[in-house]
Structure 1
Amino acid sequence: MKVLVTGGYGFIGSHVAERFHKEGYEVFIIDNLSSGKIKNVNFKHRGYRLSVEDPKCEEIFRSNRFDAIVHLAAQVNVATSMENPRQDTKSNVLGLVNMLSLGSKYRAKKFIFASSAAVYGSGTETPLEETAPCEPISPYGMSKWVGETYCRKWGELYGLETVCFRFSNVYGPRQNSVGEGGVISIFADRVLAGDDLYIYGTGEQTRDFIYVEDVADAIYRASYSPLTGVYNLSTQTESSVNMLVKLLHNLHGTPAEVIYQEPRAGDIDRSVLCNAKIKKDLDWSPMYGLRQGLEKTYDWFKQNHPTSRELTHQASNSTRLHNLFTKIKPYLENLLAFTLMAILTLTRWDLSYSFIDIKMFYITIIGIVYGNRQAIMAVALSVGLLIYQRLTDGHELISMLYDTDFFFQIGMYLCIGLVVGYAVERKNDKIRSQHTEIKEIEEKYEFLNEVYQEAREVKNELQQRIMNSGDSFGKIHAITKELDSLEPEEIFTSTVNVIESIMDTKAVSIYIVSGNGAYLRLAGHSKAIGEEAAKSLKVEDHEYISRIFLEGHVFVNRELAPGIPLMAAPVHRHGETVAIIALDELPFEKFSLYYQNLFKITVELVSSALSRAFSYVEATESLRYVEDTPILTHEVFETIRKNKQAAREQHNIGYTLLTPGGEVASLRDYSLEIKALLRETDYIGLGEAGKLLILLSNTGPDDVARVLERFSNRNISLRILEEEVEAVYG
């Protein structure tokens, strides 16, 4: 089973991913790490650093068919949504639509969306039920409300099962101070740091705090349930901010100073969500009260708080210094080059080479190395140096305004600086553009190569499992070779062996559907079942049989209802159910989805074998029967008789041979009259020396007595074949 968790490196996402991993799922994560941290997930998984709206996400869906998608990736800060609603919409709406589209396109079985209590706005009637009006007061709340609509419509339009959970204030380990419910993490952080606690308002405002592991539990259970629609996910318990502070003080031991400030605009006095609906529909309830959840949260913050703060501060300072040095480095090098050039110029080093102007070389070199901006700076510095030289040589500043040579030099400096700087800047822009393209191509290649390598790993792992598994395709192929027959009776006998071997059970039954579809006739069963197997079943008396006929799928008795098989599957031919195979016993560890699929595949192989055999029987019908009668020829009848003998020896399935009690005037009329009274599993044929025989399948002494009585009532005299008496009754 595979699950995709978007935002899986975040606070809630990491707990959800961890829960699925513990339940044996293969976990895949998409996260752009805008707020999540890779260190939050320390178990084996496959992670992709992508935004959920990125088109490259399709490569992940194409390579991995997910059973469930848990969409937690979002912009979760209400204040940020007010300041930048465009970014909020991009993350929370476009990203959701991309995930929904890919989920439906690649046939995910379940899509779970993380909504929020923010959709209710400032609703005052508490506890708020799912039917309460939604009046969001922030772009964040609006985007979540719109997301619920998308999920509902995707279910209607594309058949994707969706569940939307409106979270109350979630708290727990790994939470930061950003987003809803951050008050607990903020307070824990400040208490451990010895800082003051700021409370906006009186502190009597209430919130509905839910521990993150309770959220993960509800999401996991919803992933395999038939649950759809919108549900509140909360504790339905009001806790004041003052109570929260008191509990934290009790945990920490040293009270922090509490400073009350003016209430913030838009703050809600009371917030609590009703959870009656999810309790009833999912049979879920929160396991952690606020006190127990705070203890676990505080312990985590205590272990992680000091180290993480120090490392973050050091990394931040180091990054700032590096960025600052990178920015000022070109200016420093430009000034250093100018200083060297000025020294050479002012010491009159170039007098013997008066035709050489070092300043032009300086401008050209700086333009080539750094581009347009530094070239203009070099021109300005060179012009300043030129003016200084003129003044030291005795020229007056006013006279320079009339000196054409002076303006010519300035023009040359400016021309060289602009031409060289522009040409180099254009070249650099082109190089940067090419580097960007190359980087994008490399990232795409790296991403596709990662997906390819993962696909190879999965393939190799599956191949290894197949080679080592007791239920490998090689074993199944070897076992199902028994089904290579063109005689239906032989296939029925072989099917019992095949199912017993593959499913590791000794309680297999095969029933053939009667001509009118009203009854099932027993065609074969395991030896262990013996006389317990019903010889005939009326379809309308058994709900599970009716469901199999209606749905055409494998039936699984998940409620373990008595008197009903644990599993049953239809055998199809030309789209119609012609037989049903039932398992009455199965080892507990094999009562799973894997063995359900294994049973389904095996029954499909049986269906293929029977379809081939029935087609052969139809094609050779004129050769199987005595002309114009329902009597099987001696060769065909002997084949069926030998199969019945094999079934009796292997599975203790009895049969009886009858023969007419007197002379038969018309073989055709006599056989037609008998055929009308026989079941679909019984046969009429010719024995040795052309003797007419009737073969009754699955019959014991009591059954034979009733059959003989029924024929006698129709004035048809039959008797048990003498040489079969000892073989049949022992």
Structure 2
Amino acid sequence: MAVNQINRLKQKVILTGGRAFWDEQLERLFVKENWEYFREYGNLEKMREKLRIHNISNLIYVWPAERQAAERIDALQRLADILSLAYECEMKAVYFVSTAAAVKRESAKRAEDGMAVVAEQAVKTWSEWADIPVTIIRLPEVYGPDSGPKDGLVARTLYASIKKEALPRMDDEITPRDFLYSADAVYGIYRAVSRGCHGQELNLGTGKGLTAGAFADWIEDVTDLPGMYETSDFKTFPYVQPVLECKTAQHELGWQLKYDRKEALVQTWKYIQEKVEADRLEAQNRVKNIGWRAGYKKLIPYAENFVGALLMAGITYWQHGTTINPQTQMDVNYVYIGAMGLLYGKRQALIAMMASIVIFVVASLARGGELISLSYVPEIILHITAYLFTAALTGYFSDARRFEKESVEWQKRQYIERQGALRDLYEETLSVKDKLYRQIVNTDDSIGRLYSIIKPLDSVEPENIFNQAAAVTARILNVDNIAIYVVGADGYYLRQKVRMGKMTNAQPRSLRIKDHSYLQNLMENHAVFVNKELVKDTPDLAAPIIHQDKVIAVIAIYGLSFEQWSLYQQNLLSITTRLISASMARAYRYERDMQEKRFVAGTRILQAGEFNKLIKDLENRRKLQGDFPVAVLKVDMTNLDYASLDARLSHVIRNEDFVGIGSHGVYILLPDADGDVTTMVQERLQGAGVATVVCEAVD
């Protein structure tokens, strides 16, 4: 029980991204400090499973170093996948381990590692969008134990010097470059994670770079290889890299260097020497084992054949100088030859045949025969011929079986090679398909994007559809200023229902159709209007929302940019209004079918449940518009019932005003009404015999 409680209290972290040589050192440090540590480099699904099962809250992503240049082809896509997964699993913090090459030097026009710069900007932007803090930890070149021959300039130089290979040559002889010991780098990363640093940029380094000459002196001082840079045998290696300022990390993390540069290089040099020697011994042992196993494998058939010959000679001696068993009347040499032939093929069968002939002849001579006379005895010649036939027959079957097996293995290898080629082709095709899929899905007019945008229109509440219609149109057409006008019951006026954008605030709240030719055209032809003549106080685009072949609303768009004046935009608007019209048709049918449940019988007064839904729709519209006042009037129901109230309100309030039953009475909602409008409406209500009181909200 206590152990389980301790495990639940453990903090958890996962390492992913580029595989760094110091990852095991980082794991040992976290485990030592009682953290649960996980690593996952390849499979995204396995990582998703780990995150969900173990509920990991901290993620460390290592940007690939220069030795993993091949990995950078898909590095940004891999980073995007990991960040998407971090958002999906609701990570608490992400730590992005970058390189010093992502920082631009003072004397350079741009940073040395442009992709690292792009990656840093990407994680910063993602952090703002996902609301998950990202801490960027920049490292100079890291060296130390566990490093391989391609892990940076230090490792390249040390391995090359031991193996007598070409040394890396520095392009820049003046600009200093910093080097950080792996133990210090690992400790800095741990401190950042354990202290919960969020949203910062931390540089880890010694702060004191080495020029190319100082680097050579540093290497020669530790390795005792004088004059190693006097040779002309060099390979080009970029030495340029900025030296990072690490005061912020020291202040925020309390991080300090624990290892002197010379001491750290001594430990690294010792490890690399031992590693190279161990690899050399392992290679020698491997060669010896391979040679011994090959010789042993070749020797076994001959050894078994020799033992078989000795056994046959012993049996012949035990049978008093004859190879034929007196009980079975069978020559035991047949068994010996057949066994060698079936086990090892024709060669060993022929050797066994020769040994059997020698045993048979010697046994015959021992019984008193002569060598010359034996060659004339038909039975002896027939017996020896039977030996030859047995060897040839069994050897043939064995070789045929072996050839068949080799043929099957060759066909298997060919099949595996073809399968590998097909798998590579499939994976390449799948990769291309995924890239094309992402391109298609992310395009502005993709079916997936359009579906995700228009999905909110799947509603049966007319008020909610009007709210969503503005948002949907804005997203599909990528515009900011939209107003939706609803056709009045008399068919002469349009009243503003929803508006978005600053430009719509100056637009009139109601429009008389007779005063605007474009509105008359919309009402008659049901076609999209384009303000080609740039008429003032007229929308750039307008389109009707139609129900039962009648225009019930108009969507007006203002402030189009130059590139949006296209037939493409007109078609998008036309398709969008058709989708909205279809949604409105469903909502009206639903409203008609639910008339008795939505309204008090015989009136237009909303029932309590429907009234609450309407209030939520108006709240959503306020979020959408920002400046959307709604006046609330509580009705004095003294000497009034629902039917008489509805009769008195029929010609007093607007079509876009609502009456409904709340928890403590009947309320009238006046959307988009300021103080003056509210006072005017109250006076009109008072004249109709309806007393009201202004409330702050429906209670």
Structures share fold, TM-score greater than 0.5: no
TM (norm. structure 2) is: 0.39
TM normalised by structure 1 equals 0.38
Which structure has the greater CA radius of gyration?
Answer: 2
